[in-house]
């Protein structure tokens, strides 16, 4: 469908398009559907059903929608003429409760894209009209809803010449005020997995060209294979770490962010997960060493690891997901044999420049066998906030068991599920965080490969993390901390589905409250600056519908991100000096887990009356 122009964008995400028509003496030709062209306009959807109707003059069909399995519709008229109407039912949308109407006809050949989350209907203007649309989800009569066509609040201006001909269902539709609407951001229930131009982009700009399958969808737990279902959705999300070049106008890859809990083994996991090659590529922009807090934390951890191998002959320390070598650089300085395993070329090269021996690879049993064969078993295997990133975590666990010495220790840190639920830290959920571990889930996972959890301690990093220590079963006594942590999780209700339903409700309240606050400040003329273009900020900005209208720019100290735009929300990212130079009152603290470090650094901002906007655990201005 070669598009000559976008004719109209009256409502958020809705597009009225005019295709290019080729005429000659025989007649005309045009494409009614082209996946590549639509993706270029940001329409990344798989269409699963085509519908076709014929109606006489003055027939009015609508306003229809599905409250579950919401359908996006690509509509056109094959014969005749209709007045086509769409109503935005997404509470998170800036055009919620607004309607738009367009004349579609066989003559003008216009095509209307109505995204999921809209009610839709049409009035026939010609003697007869044949109407066709493609849908992104299947018809589900149990979820179908109707809104009264002449609702007083909507006040749709139908071009009627006589009372319309309605079905009984449409004539009895409820008023808009009484209708069910979408409380969560809803886009495509079935995002297209094959986006569109091979091959995977491994350098330069963001990975807008992804071969199939770009997303893996789990219907069963990735460890125990028990059936799982999502308990909420954060809507369509871009890749969290893929910042956008300002000159890029084409659409970028998205997936649906929806978590689930395995009722059998207790593993909290994302249902849809982008392929690792999409997430961890040549341009991966996260460098651990840019944070003084994390640098200090990892160097302290490295000292503890070195103390564990003191007296061991030719010890060997392996780090999974070693990033820029911040942790292992302290090991390298002591001339202790080590190996960092890191799949992202950009950060692996930075580690080598620090003198850290680095293998550019993904870790699993095959990689573990190779390392053991070439360098022998590891005395210590360490992983800092990476085990949760690997969807094939069962293979990772098997690889750890393969590589570890009989008396070796495996230790790792990960964001705590207890803290995420207790503090409503919903932005901890993004593409890289395939799993959010509980102590129970860690025990269940590693018992399968003969490893036992012997100690667990709380760390303040990343908004609340746990450090786990595991050995082969029976090698070390189990500390009391393990039983205490399991009891804390039971008390918090981490095994109860109602806990997660309440979490979803609190997430929606934070979303609505933050959006309301930012809209209020915008209307009052107060500029808001963001602080920290973190991966977690991608979730909150896109879930809450925050863009450059509400946040002027985001200050971030990562050079690779500066001068770019945030993924999805397209907010400019500027260096920290831009923050200091902008005389503003309100700052949205996106890197809230580094709040203490940031407030020390930006003491001058506070002294001149600056205020921080927080959203974890609730929306507040401090």
**Each residue of 474-490: pLDDT tens digit?**
999 999 999 999 999 99
pLDDT at 223: 93
pLDDT at 8: 61
Greatest mean pLDDT among 28-37, 208-217, 611-620 = 611-620
Q: What are phi and psi of 576, to 5 degrees?
A: -55, -30
pTM of this structure: 0.64
pLDDT at 39: 75
pLDDT at 198: 30
pLDDT at 597: 87
439-470 pLDDT per residue, tens = 999 999 999 999 999 999 998 776 678 999 99
pLDDT at 45: 85
Evaluate whether 70 touches 137 at the Cβ level (below 8 Å). Answer: yes
355-414 pLDDT per residue, tens = 999 999 889 999 999 999 999 999 999 998 889 988 889 999 999 999 999 999 999 999
| Closest listed residue to residue 338, CA positions, set 350, 322, 349 | 322
Q: Is the pLDDT of residue 521 over 80?
A: yes
- Between the CA atoms of 287, 292, 298 and 304, what dihedral angle is there, to the nearest 10 degrees? 160
Side-chain half-sphere CA neighbours of 504 within 13 A: 19
- Between the CA atoms of 43, 45, 49 and 55, what dihedral angle is there, to the nearest 10 degrees? -20
| Closest listed residue to residue 118, CA positions, set 62, 45, 60 | 62
Evaluate whether 119 touches 89 at the Cβ level (below 8 Å). Answer: yes
The CA-atom distances, in angstroms, between 41 and each of 92, 98, 195 are 21, 22, 13
Percent of the chain whose predicted confidence (pLDDT) is above 90? 69
181-194 pLDDT per residue, tens = 987 655 443 333 33
Side-chain half-sphere CA neighbours of 241 within 13 A: 20
238-293 pLDDT per residue, tens = 889 888 888 764 456 788 999 999 999 999 999 999 876 666 555 554 556 556 66
Residues 335, 370, 450: CA angle, nearest 5 degrees: 95
pLDDT at 324: 87
- For residues 437 and 417, give the distance between their C-alpha atoms in angstroms, rounded to a whole number: 5
Which tokens is 439 given?
A: 């102590």
91-145 pLDDT per residue, tens = 888 889 999 999 999 999 999 999 999 999 999 999 999 999 999 998 988 889 9
Q: Give 206's pLDDT tier (boundaries 50, 70, 90).
A: very low
pLDDT at 343: 83
| SS3 labels along 438-494 | CHHHHHHHHHCCCEEEEEEEEECHHHCEEEEEEEECCCCCCCHHHHHHHHHHHHHCC
570 is an active site residue: no
pLDDT at 355: 92
- For residues 394 and 484, give the distance between their C-alpha atoms in angstroms, rounded to a whole number: 26
Please give the average per-residue pLDDT across 404-425, as a whole number: 96
Q: Is the pLDDT of residue 305 over 90?
A: yes
pLDDT at 248: 67
Q: Is the pLDDT of residue 178 over 70?
A: yes
- For residues 555 and 574, give the distance between their C-alpha atoms in angstroms, rounded to a whole number: 5
Segments making up each domain of the chain, as ranges: 3-178, 504-621
Which tokens is 428 given?
A: 């901890």
pLDDT at 211: 35
pLDDT at 500: 97
CATH of domain 504-621: 3.40.50.720
CATH of domain 3-178: 2.60.120.10
Q: Which of 44, 65, 110, 133 is catalytic?
A: 133
33 is an active site residue: no
Evaluate whether 425 touches 463 at the Cβ level (below 8 Å). Answer: yes
- For residues 551 and 561, give the distance between their C-alpha atoms in angstroms, rounded to a whole number: 17
Q: What are phi and psi of 187, to 5 degrees?
A: -120, -110
Please give the average per-residue pLDDT across 208-236, as a whole number: 80
57 vs 18, residue with greater confidence: 57
Q: Which of 64, 297, 389, 594 is catalytic?
A: 64
531 vs 298, residue with greater confidence: 531
- For residues 543 and 429, give the distance between their C-alpha atoms in angstroms, rounded to a whole number: 11
- For residues 544 and 81, give the distance between their C-alpha atoms in angstroms, rounded to a whole number: 38
Q: Do the strands 99-105 and 528-531 form a parallel or antiparallel pair, or are they unpaired?
A: unpaired
The whole-chain average pLDDT of the chain stands at: 88
Please give the average per-residue pLDDT across 550-557, as a whole number: 96
């Amino acid at each position: 469908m070669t598009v000559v122009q976008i004719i109209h964008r009256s409502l958020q995400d809705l597009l009225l398009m005019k295709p290019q028509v080729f005429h000659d003496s025989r007649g005309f030709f045009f494409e009614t559907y082209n996946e590549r062209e639509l993706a270029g306009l940001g329409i990344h959807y798989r269409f699963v059903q085509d519908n076709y109707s014929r109606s006489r003059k003055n027939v009015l069909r609508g306003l229809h929608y599905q409250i579950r399995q919401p359908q996006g519709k690509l509509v056109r008229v094959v014969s005749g003429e209709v007045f086509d109407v769409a109503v935005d039912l997404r509470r998170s949308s800036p055009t919620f409760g607004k309607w738009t109407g367009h004349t579609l006809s066989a003559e003008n050949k216009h095509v209307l894209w109505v995204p999921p989350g809209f009610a839709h209907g049409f009035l026939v203007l010609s003697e007869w009209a044949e109407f066709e649309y493609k849908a992104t989800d299947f018809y589900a009569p149990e979820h179908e809803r109707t809104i009264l066509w002449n609702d007083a609040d909507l006040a749709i201006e139908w071009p009627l010449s006589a009372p319309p001909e309605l079905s009984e269902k449409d004539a009895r539709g409820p008023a808009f005020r009484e209708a069910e609407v979408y409380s969560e951001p809803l886009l495509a229930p079935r995002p297209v997995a094959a986006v569109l131009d091979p091959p995977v982009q491994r350098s330069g700009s963001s990975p807008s060209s992804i071969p199939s399958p770009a997303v893996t969808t789990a219907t069963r737990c990735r460890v125990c294979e028990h059936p799982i279902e999502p308990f909420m959705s954060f809507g369509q999300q871009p890749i969290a770490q893929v910042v956008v070049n300002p000159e890029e106008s084409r659409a970028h890859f998205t997936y649906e962010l929806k978590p689930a809990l395995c009722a059998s083994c207790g593993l909290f996991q994302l249902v849809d997960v982008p392929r690792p090659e999409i997430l961890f590529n040549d341009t991966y922009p996260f460098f651990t060493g840019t944070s003084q807090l994390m640098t200090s934390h990892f160097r302290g951890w490295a000292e503890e690891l070195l103390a564990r191998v003191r007296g061991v002959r030719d010890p060997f320390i392996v780090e999974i997901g070693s990033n820029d070598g911040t942790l292992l650089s302290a090991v390298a300085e002591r001339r202790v044999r080590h190996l960092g395993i890191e799949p992202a070329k950009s950060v692996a090269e930075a580690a080598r420049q620090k003198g850290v021996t680095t293998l550019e690879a993904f870790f699993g049993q095959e990689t573990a066998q190779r390392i053991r064969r070439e360098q022998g078993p590891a005395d210590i295997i360490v992983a800092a906030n990476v085990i949760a990133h690997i969807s094939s975590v069962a293979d990772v666990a098997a690889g750890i068991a393969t590589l570890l010495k009989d008396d070796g220790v495996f230790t790792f840190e990960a964001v705590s599920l207890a803290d995420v639920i207790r503090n409503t830290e919903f932005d901890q959920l993004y593409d890289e965080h395939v799993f959010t571990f509980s102590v129970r889930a860690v025990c269940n996972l590693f018992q399968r490969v003969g490893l036992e959890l012997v100690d667990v301690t709380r760390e303040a990093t990343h908004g609340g993390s746990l450090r786990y220590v595991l050995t082969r079963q029976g090698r070390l006594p189990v500390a009391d901390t393990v039983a205490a942590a399991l009891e804390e999780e039971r008390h918090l209700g981490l095994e109860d589905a109602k806990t997660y339903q309440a979490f979803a409700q609190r997430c929606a309240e934070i979303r609505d409250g933050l959006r309301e606050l930012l809209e209020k400040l915008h209307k009052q003329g107060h500029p808001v600056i963001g602080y920290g273009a973190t991966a977690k900020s991608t979730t909150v900005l896109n879930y809450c519908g925050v863009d450059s209208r509400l946040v002027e720019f985001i200050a971030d100290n990562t050079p690779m991100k500066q001068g770019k735009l945030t993924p999805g929300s397209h907010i400019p990212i500027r260096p920290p000096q831009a923050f200091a130079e902008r005389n503003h009152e309100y700052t949205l603290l996106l890197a809230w887990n580094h709040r203490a470090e940031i407030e020390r650094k930006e003491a001058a901002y506070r002294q001149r009356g600056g205020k921080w906007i927080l959203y974890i655990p609730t929306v507040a201005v401090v």
